[in-house]
Structure 1
Amino acid sequence: MEAQQILSGFCPKSPSIPIVKHPFSLKFNSLPSSCPSIQSLNLEFPSGAFHPTSTAHKEVCSSSPRRIWCSRSNSTAEAKEEGHEVRSQVTVRKKKLAVFVSGGGSNFRSIHEASKWGSLHGDVHVLVTNKSECGGAEYARNNGIPVILFPKAKDGSNGLSPSDLVNTLRRFEVDFILLAGYLKLIPVELIRAYERSILNIHPSLLPAFGGKGYYGMKVHKAVVASGARFSGPTIHFVDEHFDTGRILAQRVVPVLANDTAEELAARVLKEEHQLYVEVVEALCEERIIWREDGVPLIQSKENPKEFH
C-alpha cells in the first residue's frame, strides 16, 4: 500500500476527455463491439482498424529574452547554446497523426510508409478527406486507417461539422495534423484547438505563388509562365488563411529553360515526398523549436546546438 502511494505521486493520472455524442450519421464497414464510445462518429472503419489508446500529453513551448525553450513531457537532458536553451529528451512518446487529403495522397503514402518502416516515431491514426472516393481515402481503407468525411456535404447527409471534427480528433488523441493535398480551408475551430500543431505542404517557394486558387498544376503553370528560375516545396504551419502560416522548411528545385509545368511538377513532387517525411520525423521527435520572434526552427538530430 505504501509503495502504491509513492508510485502514484510520480505517475499522476491523465485527465479524462469528456465524450460528447452528436446525432449524425454512421458510415463504416465494420466496428469492433469493444468500442461502444465511438458509435456516434461518422467514420469508415475497416475491420479491426480501431485500437484504444491513452490520453495524449500536450507539448508546451515558451520563450524569454535571449533564449528559446521547448518543454516536453519526457525531457531528461538539456543542450545549451549562447542565447538559446533547448530542453531535448532521450525518449519521447510515439505521436498520433491525422492526415488530410483531397486527391491521390502521394505525400500521405510516403508518410505512412515511413511510419511502417520505423523511420518516423509516429503513426497515422485517422485520415480526413472531403472526397470519400479519392485515391488517398482508398489507400487508407486498404491499410486499416479510419476515414472521416469533412466538411459536411451540402445536403447534410454525410460529413462532420467543425466542432464535431475537433471532438472526433480529440477522441483519437491526435497530436499533429498533416495536410497533404487538402483543398479546403481549415476551420478556425480546428486551428485554435491544434495551435502550432497543423502543417501543410505547398508546391512552390512561399510566399511566391501561394494563396487562394494556387494549388496543384495551377502553381507549376504560374511558375513556368513567370520566368522564375527556382521553385520547390514549402512546409508551413497553418493559420486562418491560405498559405500564410509560418514557414518551417523549404527545398529549392531549379526551373529549367524548356520546362513544362508537368516536368517541373514531377521534380517538385519528388522533393515533397522526401522533405515532408524529414519534417514529420522532426515533429514526432519534438525537434521543432520556436524562436522568440515566432519563427519555427528544426533542431538538428546529429547536433542539438544547430538549427535549420
Structure 2
Amino acid sequence: MQKMAVLLSGSGRTLDNFHSRIQEGSLAGEIQVVISNVKDVLGLQKAVNYGYPAFHAADNDEINRILADYEIDIICLAGYLKLYSPPEKLKRAVINIHPSLIPSFCGDGYYGNIVHRAVKARGCTVSGCTVHFADENYDEGPIILQKTVEVGYNDDIDTIATTVFAAECEAFPEAINRVNEMGIDFFWDRVAK
C-alpha cells in the first residue's frame, strides 16, 4: 500500500478518481495529504470534504515543509502545473501523468488543451497518456505506463480531451498499483542511463 501525497493546481478531478478507487479497493494507496500551489481551488475543498489534510503552499520549500510531517512513499502530481523539486529522500518517488504519448507533445509549456490542440493540428489518429516518474526536467523521467486512444478525423479539442482524460482515469491508478507491486527502483533501473 503506497502512502500518497497529492499535489494539484485546480479542480481535483484526478483526486476524485483516486478517492473513488481507494474506496472501492482497486487502488493500492492511501492519501496522507493534499497540497495545492493555488489558493482556494476546488481540489482543496474536495480534499477537505473527503477528510484528507489539505494545504495551500506557494512554492517547493513550503510543500516540502508540509510533507515532512507525513509518512509518504510517493508524491502524485495530479494536475500540478509547476516544476516540483522534492526533498532528497523522495527524489525518485514523484509520479506525474501527461496527456500525450511521451515523447510526443511534451516538455515545458505542454499541458492540458495545449497538448490536445497540437495533436489535432498534427493530424494524429492516436493520442493517449503517459504516467511517468518526474525528475528535474518536464516529462523526462522513467515511464511507468502508457495508454492509447483513437483520435477521429473530425474530433474537436474537447472530444480529444475527454477521451484522453478517461484513459488517464484508468492509467494513473494502474501505474500506482504497478509501482506498489514492482517498487520504485524497478522503473528507474530499466531505462538507459
2:90 corresponds in structure 1 to: 194
1:184-209 CA-partner distances (Å, limit 9, x unpaired)? 1102xx16331221100000011111
The answer on whether the counterparts of 1:103 and 1:136 sit within 8 Å (CA) in structure 2 is yes
Question: What letter matches 1:184 in structure 2?
Answer: K
Compute the displacement of 1:279 (Å): 1.1
1:90 corresponds in structure 2 to: none
Structure 1: runs of 5+ lacking an equivalent: 1-93, 153-161, 297-308
Compute the displacement of 1:295 (Å): 2.4
1:215 corresponds in structure 2 to: 111
Matching of residues 1-308 of structure 1 within 5 Å: 94-152=1-59, 162-187=60-85, 190=86, 192-287=88-183, 290=186, 294-295=190-191
Q: Output the CA distance in 1 between the equivalents of 2:110 and 2:152.
A: 21
SS of the residue corresponding to residue 279 of structure 1 reads helix
Aligned CA RMSD, in angstroms, stands at 2.0
Alpha-carbon distance change, 134 to 164 in structure 1, aligned in 2, over 3 angstroms? closer
Compute the displacement of 1:106 (Å): 1.3
% identity of equivalent residues: 38
The answer on whether the counterparts of 1:129 and 1:149 sit within 8 Å (CA) in structure 2 is yes
Displaced runs of 4+ in structure 1, greater than 4 A? 286-289
Alpha-carbon distance change, 200 to 145 in structure 1, aligned in 2, over 3 angstroms? same
Compute the displacement of 1:240 (Å): 0.5
Alpha-carbon distance change, 254 to 191 in structure 1, aligned in 2, over 3 angstroms? farther
Question: What letter matches 2:91 in structure 1?
Answer: E
Question: What letter matches 2:12 in structure 1?
Answer: G
Q: Output the CA distance in 2 between the equivalents of 1:292 and 1:165.
A: 24
The answer on whether the counterparts of 1:231 and 1:254 sit within 8 Å (CA) in structure 2 is yes
Compute the displacement of 1:283 (Å): 2.4
Compute the displacement of 1:163 (Å): 3.6
Structure 2: runs of 5+ lacking an equivalent: none
Greater radius of gyration (CA): 1
Q: Output the CA distance in 2 between the equivalents of 1:181 and 1:132.
A: 14
Compute the displacement of 1:175 (Å): 1.0
Compute the displacement of 1:290 (Å): 2.0
The answer on whether the counterparts of 1:230 and 1:255 sit within 8 Å (CA) in structure 2 is yes
Compute the displacement of 1:287 (Å): 4.9
1:45-65 CA-partner distances (Å, limit 9, x unpaired)? xxxxxxxxxxxxxxxxxxxxx
Q: Output the CA distance in 2 between the equivalents of 1:295 and 1:164.
A: 32
TM-score, with length taken from structure 2: 0.91
What is the number of residues matched between the two proteins? Answer: 192
SS of the residue corresponding to residue 151 of structure 1 reads coil
